[in-house]
Amino acid sequence: MLISSILDKIGNTPLVRIREIGEELPQVRSGKVKIYGKVEYLNPGGSIKDRPAMRMIKEGLKSGQLTKGKIIMDPTSGNTGVAYAMIGAALGIPVELVMPGNVSLQRKQIITTFGAQITYSSPMEGSDGAIRMARKLKDENPDTYFMPDQYNNEFNPQAHYDTTGVEIWRQTEGKVTHFVAGIGTGGTVMGTGRRLRDYNQNVQVIAVEPDNALHGLEGLKHMASSIVPGIYKEGELDKKISMPTEPAYDMCERLAREEGLIVGHSAGGAVVGALQVAERLHEGVIVAILCDHGDRYFTMLDWDKDVQDVPYSDVGI
């Protein structure tokens, strides 16, 4: 297949049946309840954030707010930053990102490989610290930066309304009954949920959030202790699941070993949430967002704990 740009590969990700995990539930084993994962790490930037990042940049160019000579700058916990960096490289637009100092090493490496610059905010303040620093940079340098403001830009959820929700409806042949996604900016769960509800008002929209402020689910927000994004409307949710860190981490390992899916924290949490939903159903079709690839978290997850260095002599080299 010949494409004009890597950006043409954003979207149209596959929906994969989760076949082994959940088999302990009779309704899942019988097929009356089906669980699917939307494999968003197959976007070219490796996460679902390619979708809103591309839309916000396109709209910035269209409106004239993003002009030649300006730098794309936004706060990010990582995935949107990777998306901005990739898109900026493809379009020839410089990118500067404000990130908490404790985001995963792999994300930092990917971003700088694309040529973007990183300004680090306090690791103790998480994504909120990055938001405050980015706003200060924008206020002090209004003519230097184009700030998409992913937490408040309505084109963030609109990207999911126009693409993610449409794809899920088509891929399930209109049979989806429950949609589960983690809360970061809120764009995915809001935009996708609205679209699915436009197709069928009975679709249940369920958000997964960390269970406390000092959580280990990078990229997700504990809303009660955070700056609440302007695009997040909790009243539109049917349910919010409070997710401890450990079950989400454990599910990441299970998805790799039982389903062949290496995913990040939010995906693990979304699948745990999907199982909780499945437990209470007699029948239904649940779709969980698999936001990104787990290779961005190998250092944090310590997934090499079972891997040992093997001397060359032991493998015949």
User: Which amino acids are annotated catalytic?
Assistant: 49, 266
Q: Are 207 and 189 in contact (CB under 8 A)?
A: yes
Of 274, 241, 238, 201, the C-alpha closest to 34 is 274
Which is it for strands 71-75 and 95-100: parallel, antiparallel or unpaired? parallel
Check: CB of residue 150 under 8 Å from CB of residue 87. no
- Phi, psi torsion values for 32, nearest 5 degrees: -70, -30
Nearby residues of 6 by Cβ (< 8 Å), 6 or more positions away: 44, 86, 90
Q: Which backbone phi and psi does 206 adopt, to 5 degrees?
A: -125, 125
Give the pair of three-digit tokens for residue 241.
């699941």
* Residue 291 tokens, joined: 């936001």
User: What is the spatial distance between Cα 295 and Cα 113, in angstroms, rounded to a whole number?
Assistant: 16
Question: What's the rounded Cα separation, in Å, for the pair 213 and 264?
Answer: 19
Q: In what order do the strands lie in the sheet with 178-182?
A: 15-17, 33-39, 284-290, 178-182, 204-210, 239-243
Q: Is 83 helix (H, G, I), strand (E, B) or coil?
A: helix
